[in-house]
Each structure stands twice: as structure tokens, then as C-alpha cells.
Structure 1
């Protein structure tokens, strides 16, 4: 590893002068400072992490809480996009990422204790059970926290525009002539679900459409088995819907399988729509009408806000940052006469 002594020898200056140049002191000339920094870059000099921590009172480490219920982990397309955006922005700013848990050296500790032990500068909660007391302890603690798709009074939140997303999707379906629209939504205790479901009812009301209770079903996100059951139930109603909206593009696959098993065709016999805008949804036939979430930008914005709160605490504000999605119309919505 290159030391400041090596840089001093190359530039024919003292170690103290190199230290001052690299640490932004003003009592050396600009020409000398530029020459030393250029030499440091050419030699591949990296400051000692321990020394930097002592000087700045920061470890340049950010904790990530990612507890995803469905068990897909990092293979989940939406969350992998968020994490990738977060990772790239964090590393660009000289920070490292550490995944946090409640297990440490065969002992059970709280998330907050883990973060304190690691002396983390900030925390990004990407996915978690927000009913968990440990998660609330994190959000209410002294370490800067940013949340994804969850709003808390003490934390900056970066959220996809779920309200507008559902409205855009519904208005598109409505424009194709559909009036009997069912919604299989995600788990009811999810903040995302609450926003999407409220937007569904509000948009349908603004369109002058009354939604029968039988048109609303619940299935966990990316859960194909339950969406298959819900789809069959909806299609067997005396007055079935002409279009079904699913919790997400993965859960939608369970519905597609049942539709095919019943000998029905999409969109000729039943129209369907998803959410997330996954790559898979656009490779299926027919391609799926869905809302593409900008997962990478959500992660990037979360990292930017968190780092700003770490480095400029006096400027820190609790904000809610909304990231817009995009409607992908696909081929899965049939054109109907409005009275169908």
C-alpha cells in the first residue's frame, strides 16, 4: 500500500507537507498542492481508513436493512434494482455498504445495537417488517436513516409514486372500454398496498364506477399460488370482471396459469395488468400492461439523501421524495365496448 512517505519522496517534499496537501490545509502553495495530489492519484494512494475515521469522526460505512418476506432475496428484480442504485451512489461517494441483521457472533442483538457496534454513519431500510419494534428503534434512533416506500416522522423516505401509478393504469384500462375491473392487491398491512388500494378506489370513484366487494381480493406480493386461487374465484363470479389487476408482475403469473387452464385467452376473454414493469412482463406473450418503477433511481436518490444528512447534518430535513413510474401499455388489455 502506498504511504504518504512514498508521495513525499516522489515530490521531494516533507511528509508533513503531503499530509497538509491531502487534508486541504491552506498554508501550502496551490502549485505544491496540485503536484502532490496528482502524484497521489498516479501512485494509487488510499488514505488509511482508521486515520480517516479519527479525523472525520466517520467510518464511511452505511448499513442496509433488507429483510424480504417472500424469500426471493437479491433475486427480486425491483429490490435488486434499488440496491444496485444505492450501491453505485454510495461507492461513488467513498462509502462502503454493510448488510445488518440481528445475529452477531452467535448472539441475538437488535438492529440498532448492530449499527452502533459497527459505528455506522447511516442506515438505508430497503425492505423490512415495519411492525417490528427493532425496526422502529432504528428509525427513532440517533443514526441518520432513509426508508424505501415507507413514511416515518423521523426519516427521509424515497417512494415510488404508487398513487399516480395505479391511477395511470386504471385510466388506461378505462380508455380501452373496461368498466368491470377487479383488483388483487398485496398484503393489507403494507404501506405500498394502502396507497395503491386507496388510489384504486379514488380513481374508480372519479370515473363514476362502483366497485363490488367481490372484485377485491388479497394475495401477498410475488405470491403466485394465492393469486391463482383469487383469479379462479373472480372468474367464477356470476358477473365476472373483464380485467384483473395483479399485485405485481410476478404474482400475475399465477393468474395467467389459471386463465390458460380454464381454456381462456388473454386478452380476448379476460384482460390482465401487473405492476413493477419487470423485464419478464415484456417478454411474455401477450406483453403485460404494467407500471414500470424506476428502481435504480429510487436507490440512487435514497443514497444521495442519506449521505447529505450524514455529511451536512445542519441541513438535514425529513423529506418524502417521490419517484415517478411509467405506464407500459403492453398487449394484455382488450378493446371493449363500454357496456361490456
Structure 2
């Protein structure tokens, strides 16, 4: 393995000069820096991560805790885009990524134990059961932690503005003339609670009451549950004119049922998704949806976590809210004002 001493002998300078040049210190001339860097590259020198860790007290490794109970894993487009943006931003800052899990193959490590075993400098948490005792143990530890789409009092959180997102979506549907609006929402979570609360609050402010059987609990990213609940809504004596689905992917289950009934979207019934996945815009008709800013969510989560790792005394516990935007597809019919 090539060492800094080898480079110093080759360049005819001291080891200290090599170290300063490779770390871009200002007291080394540019010509000397260029010579040392070029020589180091030609000789195949790579800095030793263990030595770097001892010097900086950091491993430049960030843990990602991502547990998808729907078993869709990183094929879940929303979270894959968020985590991809997180990864790109972290790597641009010189950090590597390690996924944190309960590694049963080696031992029954908790999330916190696995994080310490891997020596990560901090952890980002997304798409987990935030009430899981092991998640709470990690959140309450001394490790720097940033959460995505969930808020703890003592941790920085980066969240999508689900309250405004649902309000904007409902407002658009209302402006298109709909008054009988149903909502199939996902399983109980902070995200769901905010969306459901905003659903009722926005319709109440518009003077619209919502029948209990217009609101159904489904499952995120699950077409089967959406299909079953769509049938229930279509079987109502007074069925809705528009159905909101938990997310774009789950809306496919509803679309299939609607087509099976010989109904057309949006002529006979309107539908709306959530997330703004690429999928939504290749469906026929194009799906009206709320596009979440996954790039900003991932980037901000990485930036906040790295700042917390590198400048802990200057870190502020805050909730960073990222707005989305309504994508006006072709799945919502323009109706009369008293429909």
C-alpha cells in the first residue's frame, strides 16, 4: 500500500508537506500541491479511512434506517427518489451511506447497536414505525439523527407539507365543481393524520359535509385494498363524483375496478392520486395528483444531518417543511357548480 512517506520520497518533500497538500492547506504553493496530487494519483495512493477517522473523530459514513412494511423496498418510487437525492448530496460532501437494519445473520443487534457497530456519524430515518421501541432508542441516543416525514421534539425533521398539499388538492377538486368527494387514505401515521385532518378541515371551510362512508382506511402503495374500497364506494346509493387515493400507485387498483364496471374516467367518475410519481403521467388519462418535492426532501435531510454532525454546537432543532404542487392531469371532470 502506498503511503505518504512514499509520495514524499518521490517528490523530494517532507511527509508534512504531502499531508498539507493532500488536505489543501493554504500554506502550500499551488505548483507543489499539483505535483504531489499528480504523484499520489499515479502511485495509486488512497487516504486510509481509519487514519482519517482517528484524526477527525468521524468516519464519514451516514446510516440510513429505512424499513418498508409494504415490502416494496426501494422500488417505492417516492422513497427511492428521496433517498437517491439524500445519497447524492451526502456523497458530494464526502460521506458514504450504510443501511441500518436488525442484522439477524450475525446477532440480534438493535438499530442503535448496528449503528454503533458500523461506526456511522449520524442516521437519517425514513419510512419506519416511529413508535417501534428500537426506533425510539435510536432517536433518544447521542447519535445525530434527522427524520423524514415524522417529527420528534428533540430531533431535526424534514417533512412534506401534507396539510397544505391536501388543502390545495381539495381546493382544485372543488373548483372543478365537485361536492361529493371521497377519500381512501393510508394506514394510520403522522402523514395520514395530517392529510385526513386537512381533508376534513378544507371541506368544512368550503361548507361541505362528508358522509362517514365516504372516508375509507386503505394501505399505502397497495392496489388490492384500493380496489376493494373503490367497489364499496361505487356500491353506495349516492356514490361520490371524485375519489382521492392514498398515492398514485394505489390508484391503479381503483382504476381497474372503475373500468371493470364499464365506467370512464373522468366522464363517469373522477379520481385523484398523491405523490406525483412518473407513473401518474403515463396513465390514461393522466392522473391529477399532488407532486411531492422528493429532491428537496432528500437534499435538505442530508444537509441538515451533515451540519449536525460537523457543527453540533451550531445546530438548531427545527422542522423543515417542503411544499408540493398540484399536477392538473386529465382525471378530474369539470362539473356544474352544484354537482
- Do they fold alike, i.e. is TM over 0.5? yes
By how many angstroms is 1:326 displaced?
A: 1.5
By how many angstroms is 1:13 displaced?
A: 1.1
Once residues 240 and 156 of structure 1 are traced to their aligned partners in structure 2, the CA distance between those partners, rounded to angstroms, is 43
Once residues 186 and 225 of structure 2 are traced to their aligned partners in structure 1, the CA distance between those partners, rounded to angstroms, is 11
SS at 1:8 equivalent = helix
RMSD: 1.6
Match of residue 293 from structure 1: 292
Q: Does 1:37 align with 2:36?
A: no
What are the Cα deviations for residues 89-130 of structure 1, in whole angstroms up to 9, with x where unaligned?
A: 111111111101111543111100111122210001122111
The 8 Å contact of residues 18 and 36 in structure 1, kept in 2 or not, is answered as: no
The 8 Å contact of residues 186 and 193 in structure 1, kept in 2 or not, is answered as: yes
Match of residue 142 from structure 1: 142
Q: 1:281 to 1:40 in 2, by over 3 A?
A: farther
Match of residue 65 from structure 1: 65
1:67-82 map, 5 Å? 67-82=67-82
Match of residue 331 from structure 2: 332
Q: TM-score, normalised by structure 2?
A: 0.95
Match of residue 126 from structure 1: 126
Q: 1:326 to 1:14 in 2, by over 3 A?
A: same
Match of residue 319 from structure 2: 320
The 8 Å contact of residues 147 and 158 in structure 1, kept in 2 or not, is answered as: yes
Match of residue 248 from structure 2: 249
SS at 1:335 equivalent = coil
By how many angstroms is 1:319 displaced?
A: 1.1
By how many angstroms is 1:228 displaced?
A: 0.8
SS at 2:64 equivalent = strand
1:1-340 map, 5 Å? 2-23=2-23, 29-31=27-29, 34-42=30-38, 43-44=40-41, 45-103=45-103, 105-188=105-188, 190-340=189-339
Structure 1, gaps ≥5 residues long: none
Once residues 159 and 147 of structure 1 are traced to their aligned partners in structure 2, the CA distance between those partners, rounded to angstroms, is 8
Q: 1:263 to 1:61 in 2, by over 3 A?
A: same
How many equivalent pairs are there? Answer: 335
By how many angstroms is 1:213 displaced?
A: 0.8
Once residues 128 and 306 of structure 2 are traced to their aligned partners in structure 1, the CA distance between those partners, rounded to angstroms, is 21
Once residues 134 and 48 of structure 2 are traced to their aligned partners in structure 1, the CA distance between those partners, rounded to angstroms, is 33
The 8 Å contact of residues 104 and 114 in structure 1, kept in 2 or not, is answered as: no
Once residues 122 and 33 of structure 2 are traced to their aligned partners in structure 1, the CA distance between those partners, rounded to angstroms, is 29
Once residues 94 and 2 of structure 1 are traced to their aligned partners in structure 2, the CA distance between those partners, rounded to angstroms, is 21
Once residues 114 and 273 of structure 1 are traced to their aligned partners in structure 2, the CA distance between those partners, rounded to angstroms, is 41
Once residues 333 and 267 of structure 2 are traced to their aligned partners in structure 1, the CA distance between those partners, rounded to angstroms, is 6
Once residues 65 and 153 of structure 1 are traced to their aligned partners in structure 2, the CA distance between those partners, rounded to angstroms, is 19
The 8 Å contact of residues 147 and 155 in structure 2, kept in 1 or not, is answered as: yes
Q: TM-score, normalised by structure 1?
A: 0.94
What are the Cα deviations for residues 47-87 of structure 1, in whole angstroms up to 9, with x where unaligned?
A: 21111101011111111111001111111100110110011
The 8 Å contact of residues 148 and 159 in structure 1, kept in 2 or not, is answered as: yes
By how many angstroms is 1:23 displaced?
A: 4.7
Once residues 256 and 170 of structure 1 are traced to their aligned partners in structure 2, the CA distance between those partners, rounded to angstroms, is 20
By how many angstroms is 1:246 displaced?
A: 0.3
SS at 1:103 equivalent = coil
Structure 2, gaps ≥5 residues long: none
Once residues 111 and 205 of structure 1 are traced to their aligned partners in structure 2, the CA distance between those partners, rounded to angstroms, is 42
SS at 1:82 equivalent = helix
